[in-house]
Structure 1
Amino acid sequence: MNDPQIAPLHSPQGSLHERHTRVMPDWMSLYYDEPLELLSGAGRTVQGSDGRSYLDCFGGLLATMVGHNIPEITEAIQRQAARILHSSTLYLLSGQVRLAERLAAASRMRDPRVFFVNSGSEAVETALLITTAHASSNQVLALRGSYPGRSFGTVATTGIRAWSATGFSPLQVSYLHSGYRYRSPFRALEDAAFVDACIDEMRTIIETSTSGRIAAMLVEPVQGAGGFAEPPAGFFARTKGVLDEYGIPLISDEVQTAWGRTGRSPYGIHAHGVDAEVLTLAKGIANGLSIGAVVAEAEIMHSLPAHSISTAGGNPIAMAAANATLDYIEDHDLISHADQIGAKLQHGLHDLASRLPALIGEIRGAGLMIGVELIRPGSTDPAPELAVAAVERARKLGLLIGRGGLYGNVLRVTPPMTITAAEAETALELLGETLQTVDAAARQAEVTS
């Protein structure tokens, strides 16, 4: 019998946005008053369903790491697709072994082992699984302002209220001070004193808020959703020193920082002179295809007391894309390029901030992970509504950027690592026009309110 409550599956009615709204969760938000579908792309330019071309400085939420329609990568995917799409981890996979060898070789671990999954959330979830099994403890340290994913365990270690979907948790998490200085109570301190204060707090939290048997500490070398906050020099080295005293493994969440987006090294934590016992990767290492990976010291990786596999983790298509992506990064020296172009973008944005001090509170980031914190005129109060307006205005001008931060007031400028110097200049011009327009509108609104 037909149920009148069930909508027919044929002849969908309405715009794509209307259809999206009918079948997708209401918490799955879209950018823009008039949401955009991206139909195609080449390099750093994408074509929208509105018939316009855009300079992509968001890179598919940092996943399109080396650009769109890169022949070396698309051809590697096509070659593999013509052979076999899937076989599972129950069979030997040459592409998986090759990629694992590369991730392990760069890890600086004594005896690294690699397990592939399908996303950043799943990678961090796996890291939490193996470290809690290793320690026989569910106590974990995390940084305020962190966002490791949307799954049950990763939400438990999320230090951003807007992304904390539930208070239920399989973990006991103690949150420590992060490197986000702009709103820190330690903001006025010099770098060394700031690090001292954070380390003092860390010791206090370990001694008072835990049993002492702690499975791991989870950090992002540069906080992604937290607005690209990075602590001052010495923070991670001092943190690792305390962890070693207590025998606590470090998990470095490299989902957004690997493979060289920070312009320093394949893994972001290594730029701080720190080696982690566990590393997680995803997003850009396959240039947008679904992938996740965990690299861990063998002792920790082998802690699981039961069998485990990943049906699609390490699948031939994702491995072909990832190996081709890493080849492309190495062949074109894109880590150094990210450093150079990132410095160019930051220099231009700092100049813009000096001219718009009532709107731009801070410019920060590393390589091609750049955050622009927007504030309300006459204060340091976060201005999420101005960030929304800036993202909208940038689109009208032909530029795609993102938005994040603890309060949703940080613009995220994250172009693919192949962005040219000329494209960076264009991006700066469009960002300048965007922010000047937003600043003028904010000042006018303040006068008329």
Structure 2
Amino acid sequence: MTDDLLGRHRAVLPDWLALYYEDPLEITHGEGRHVWDARGNRYLDFFGGILTTMTAHALPEVTKAVSEQAGRIIHSSTLYLNRPMVELAERIAQLSGIPDARVFFTTSGTEANDTALLLATTYRRSNTIMAMRNSYHGRSFSSVGITGNRGWSPTSLSPLQTLYVHGGVRTRGPYASLSDDGFIAACVDDLVDLLGHTRAPAALIAEPIQGVGGFTSPPDGLYAAFREVLHERGILWIADEVQTGWGRTGEHFWGWQAHGQNGPPDIMTFAKGIGNGMSIGGVVARSEIMNCLDSNSISTFGGTQITMAAGLANLNYLLEHDLQGNSRRVGGLLIERLRAAAAQVPAVREVRGRGLMIGIEITKPGTDEADPQAAAAVLEAAREGGLLIGKGGGHNTSSLRVAPPLSLNVAEAEEGAAILENALRSIQ
């Protein structure tokens, strides 16, 4: 029973391992855009295991690929030639937009960002990293050290010197009142000023849309303007595409492409959705950067055959069914539906995002003050209505996160929006 499982969970797992809901949920199975709990309740899934079930639950093409690969060999490590790993690397290198790209597979987004930091600091011979305020990049020692979101940074100890840059949050902070062009100009001026007061950093790492931070983003073009400043000084740009990649934003395949006027990033990280639940992360970089390490390195579990088979099948399905286009179309309808509903709820400060990556910021009515209790109440009410969503936020904010599988159809979008509208109205 779920109650017994909760007690067992608390007895053997860390106190800081968070669970959603006052009555935590055990999900037992899923199909399409729906999941079921241990009590038989059915839910429309608008969070996908934190943006990880990217195409659909129990997608036949992926489960078949996993089953067939498991019947051959599951794992051998990177010490041996691995056909599925080479095939997926070829596809990702081509899709990345990075010239002469090399791909290294990991088991998570955290490990991917950790690897990107290793490459950048080694290539540049600098342990100084610039990161965005309100950012999140993982839970390893180095990625925690660059995370700009206090709620997800449990220690100030770090192997890196981290400098935080303005720009990741458009509607808060000292430049919020400016026009988009003015906002970009002010952030660039701040970056230039910051670089005048420090030794040359190795890189700037940035999420095109901040995930854990509440799906916040700058105006399109900010990172292109940043890249121009960085390129003049030889500083690398790392695009953290762990949450924004694979067409989720609808308008672009990668989040960085909204800022790509000055070319692709030097390094790009990915994870989450590519495996559709299997543990895949990775790094793409120009060959001169990827090959800068002068010691041996392997990955025991990164690129293992069974996860690569899943990734290939999942990527093929996504491209063949134009799920990026579906994200643009259905996501556009969903965000407009949610904005219309939120306009009647004073506690909603902003509905933002693009494609199927939508954030709803909750504040105390008439103020900019975060209201985490109200956000938690909406989360609970949505669940009671049969809808699973996420939450996040930084910069003293409370945000709900909406990120369904990219195969979401219009009827499901309407159904989820109606449930969420009722949940929002319940906090008035």
Match runs of 1:197-208 below 5 Å: 197-208=186-197
Distance 2:223 2:195 in 1: 16
- The match for 2:85 is 96
Report the 3-state secondary structure (helix = DSSP H, G, I; strand = E; otherwise coil) of the residue aligned with 2:182: helix
* Residue in structure 1 matching 2:55, options 66, 81, 95: 66
Asked whether the equivalents of residues 36 and 50 of structure 1 are also in contact (C-alpha less than 8 Å), the reply is: no
**AA at the equivalent of 1:429:** A
- Partner deviation per Cα, 1:81-120 (whole Å, 9 max, x = no partner): 0110111101111100011011111122221111111000
1:22 and 2:7 equivalent? no
* One-letter amino acid of the structure 2 residue matched with residue 394 of structure 1: A
Structure 1 unmatched ranges of 5 or more: 1-11, 440-449
Alignment: residue pair count = 425
Which whole-Å deviations, capped at 9, do the CAs of 1:40-75 have from their partners, x for residues lacking one? Answer: 000001001122000000000000001101101100
**Residue type matched to 1:433 in 2?**
N
What's the CA shift string for 1:245-273, capped at 9, x where partnerless?
11111100001111111112322102322
1:432-443 mapped onto 2 (5 Å cutoff): 432-439=421-428
Question: 1:230 Cα shift?
Answer: 1.2
| 2:18 alignment partner, SS class | coil
Tell me which residue corresponds to 2:319. Answer: 330
CA separation in 1, counterparts of 2:125 and 2:176? 37
- In the TM superposition, 1:134-283 aligns within 5 A as 134-208=123-197, 210-212=198-200, 214-273=201-260, 274-283=263-272
Q: Deviations over 1:336-395 (max 9, x none)?
A: 100111111110111112212x21101111211100000102212111111111000100
Counterpart residue number, 2:353: 365
| 1:15 match: secondary structure | helix
- 2:378 touches 2:423 (CA, 8 Å); kept in 1? yes
Aligned to 2:392: 404
Q: What residue number does 1:414 align with?
A: 403
2:76 counterpart of 1:84: no
Corresponding residue SS for 2:162? strand
Query: What residue number does 1:430 align with?
Result: 419
Task: Output the CA distance in 1 between the equivalents of 2:97 and 2:56.
Answer: 28
Q: Distance in 2 between matches of 1:308 and 1:385?
A: 46
Which whole-Å CA distance do the structure 2 matches of 1:437 and 1:353 have between them? 12
- The SS at the match of 1:231 is coil
Name the % identity: 48
Letter in 1 for 2:88: L
Q: Distance in 1 between matches of 2:230 and 2:141?
A: 25
- Indicate if the aligned counterparts of 1:123 and 1:281 stay in contact, CA closer than 8 A: yes
TM-score (normalizing by structure 2)? 0.97
Amino acid of the structure 2 residue aligned with 1:436: R
Q: Which amino acid aligns with 1:369?
A: M
TM-score (norm 1): 0.93
1:390 corresponds in structure 2 to 378
Contact 1:117-1:123 within 8 A present in 2 as well: yes
Matched, 1:310 2:291: no
Q: Could you tell me how far apart the structure 2 residues matched to 1:322 and 1:266 are?
A: 16
> Match for 1:387: what amino acid?
A
Cα drift, residue 182 of structure 1: 2.3
Taking a change above 3 Å as real, the CA distance of residues 375 and 87 of structure 1, as seen in their structure-2 partners, is same
Give the whole-Å Cα distance in 2 for the aligned partners of 1:366 and 1:92: 39
Distance 1:134 1:233 in 2: 29
Q: Identify the match of residue 111 of structure 1 among 92, 100, 118.
A: 100
CA distance in 1, matches of 2:25, 2:2: 18
Answer yes or no: is 1:300 the counterpart of 2:289: yes
Structure 1 window deviating more from structure 2 (403-412 vs 19-28): it is 403-412
Distance 1:22 1:327 in 2: 42
2:177 is paired with a residue whose SS is: coil
Which residue type is aligned with residue 368 of structure 1?
A: L
Query: Partners of 2:293 and 2:380 in 1: how far apart?
Result: 47
- Structure 1 residue 419: Cα displacement: 0.6
1:13: Cα distance to partner?
A: 12
One-letter code aligned to 1:379:
T
Distance in structure 1 (CA, Å) of the matches to 2:265 and 2:6:
43
Per the alignment, residue 447 of structure 1 pairs with: none
C-alpha offsets along residues 277-296 of structure 1, whole Å, 9 cap, x if unaligned?
Answer: 10101111010111111001
1: CA distance between counterparts of 2:368 and 2:120? 39
Q: Which of these two proteins has the greater Rg computed from alpha carbons?
A: 1
Do the aligned residues in 2 keep the contact of 1:387 with 1:408 (CA within 8 Å)? no
CA distance in 1, matches of 2:15, 2:68: 39
Secondary structure at the aligned position of 1:137 is classed as coil
Q: How far apart, in 1, do the equivalents of 2:2 and 2:344 lie? A: 48
CA distance, structure 1, for counterparts of residue 191 and residue 3 of structure 2: 54
CA contact 1:182–1:362 (8 Å) conserved in 2 = no
RMSD: 1.3
- What does residue 129 of structure 1 align with? 118
Letter matched to residue 179 of structure 1: G
Q: Deviations over 1:391-425 (max 9, x none)?
A: 00100000000000104610000000001100000
1:51 to 40, 49, 69: 40
Q: 1:196 corresponds to which letter in structure 2?
A: A
